């Protein structure tokens, strides 16, 4: 039988590599993710956010994800990213997502959702620290007892932590705090999750993957590659959506392959 989704992520942490977790919003971006993973023989995480679900419909995206996963020649984990409320996250689990991430730190809600994910055979990613969306204002928790307490009370399988990245940055100006990563990785064997990875240079992502980060969330950089290629195709006169969306898919896939290689995922499928 196929390994559970949680086991695939734990194997990455134990093996010193990270799964790329790419955000998709439609057919072409989701295909770009899966094709890149197949080209690199890598396990991959295909994720849709609650924001993406507002655009495409949760059930539609779930069906798309399930069908790509079923056809793929590599392990594809279907992840529901940045759930803003518990009800939508529960719905995602019902629709076949392998794992969910919930924003927020209400211990009762976190535990309830974690238990629901486990009952469904899936995993739960909790946000131990928030990665900032704009200006740096995030709060870090450096008390080891607090970390242990959070893990114990939330029942989470994956821990999103703040290592210095920021969401939605097109330039790679963030620098990771590797000292902090090593301290966190010493305190827990749970796979750590890095959000906002578009803001981080590839060599730093590579190093983080060897030090305990096992899921690296990437959206902005891939979206930018997709959109630039669509723009070029339109400028060159393409009018059939298959032409310009196909160009976007190809460019996003090429970029995704670079990240997969940097994170050590190539050949791990």
Residues making up the annotated binding site are 82, 127, 167, 195
Does 143 participate in catalysis according to the annotation? no
Contacts of residue 217, Cβ cutoff 8 Å, sequence gap at least 6: 21, 23, 47, 81, 193, 194, 195, 196, 197
Site for ligand G3H (CB under 6 A): which residue of 217, 225, 233, 256?
217
Nearer to ligand G3H, 154 or 199 (CB): 199
Contacts of residue 170, Cβ cutoff 8 Å, sequence gap at least 6: 198, 220, 221, 224
For 128-260, strand residue ranges (E) read 158-161, 192-194, 213-218
Contacting range for ligand G3H; rule: CB under 6 A; set: 63-71, 72-80, 115-123, 192-200: 192-200
Q: Does the footprint of ligand G3H cover residue 204 (CB under 6 A)?
A: no
Are 162 and 130 contacting, i.e. CB atoms less than 8 angstroms apart? yes
Contacting range for ligand G3H; rule: CB under 6 A; set: 32-40, 54-62, 190-198, 237-245: 190-198
Site for ligand G3H (CB under 6 A): which residue of 199, 229, 247, 249?
199
Euclidean distance between CA atoms 90 and 164, whole angstroms: 30
Q: How far is the CB of 217 from ligand G3H (least distance, A)?
A: 3
Burial label, 258 (beta-carbon count in 10 A; 0-12, 13-18, 19+): middle
- Helix, strand, or coil here: 162? coil
Site for ligand G3H (CB under 6 A): which residue of 196, 212, 264, 265?
196
Site for Zn ion in 80-109 (CB under 5 A): none
Q: Partners of 102 in the beta sheet? A: 83, 126
Q: How far is the CB of 193 from ligand G3H (least distance, A)?
A: 9
Q: Does the footprint of Zn ion cover residue 10 (CB under 5 A)?
A: no
Q: Does the footprint of ligand G3H cover residue 175 (CB under 6 A)?
A: no
Could you list the residues that contact ligand G3H (CB under 6 A)? Answer: 23, 81-82, 167-169, 195-199, 217-221
């Amino acid at each position: 039988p196929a390994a559970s989704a949680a086991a695939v992520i734990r194997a990455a942490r134990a093996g010193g590599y990270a799964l790329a977790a790419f955000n998709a919003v439609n057919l072409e971006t989701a295909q770009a993710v899966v094709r890149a993973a197949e080209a690199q023989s890598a396990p991959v995480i295909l994720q849709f956010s609650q924001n993406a679900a507002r655009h495409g419909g949760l059930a539609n995206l779930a069906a798309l994800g399930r069908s790509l996963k079923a056809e793929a020649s590599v392990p594809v984990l279907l992840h529901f990213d940045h759930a803003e409320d518990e009800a939508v996250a529960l719905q995602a689990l019902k629709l076949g997502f392998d794992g969910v991430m919930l924003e927020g730190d209400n211990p009762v809600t976190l535990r309830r959702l974690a238990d629901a994910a486990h009952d469904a055979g899936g995993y739960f990613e909790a946000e131990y620290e928030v990665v900032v969306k704009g200006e740096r204002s995030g709060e870090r928790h450096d008390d080891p007892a607090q970390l242990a307490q959070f893990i114990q009370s939330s029942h989470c399988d994956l821990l999103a932590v703040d290592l210095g990245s920021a969401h939605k940055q097109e330039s790679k100006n963030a620098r990771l705090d590797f000292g902090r990563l090593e301290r966190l990785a010493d305190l827990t064997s749970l796979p750590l999750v890095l959000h906002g990875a578009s803001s981080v240079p590839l060599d730093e992502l590579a190093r983080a993957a060897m030090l305990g980060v096992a899921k690296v969330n990437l959206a902005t950089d891939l979206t930018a590659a997709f959109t630039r290629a669509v723009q070029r195709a339109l400028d060159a006169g393409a009018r059939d959506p298959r032409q310009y969306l196909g160009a976007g898919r190809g460019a996003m896939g090429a970029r995704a392959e670079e990240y997969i290689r940097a994170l050590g995922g190539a050949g791990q499928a």
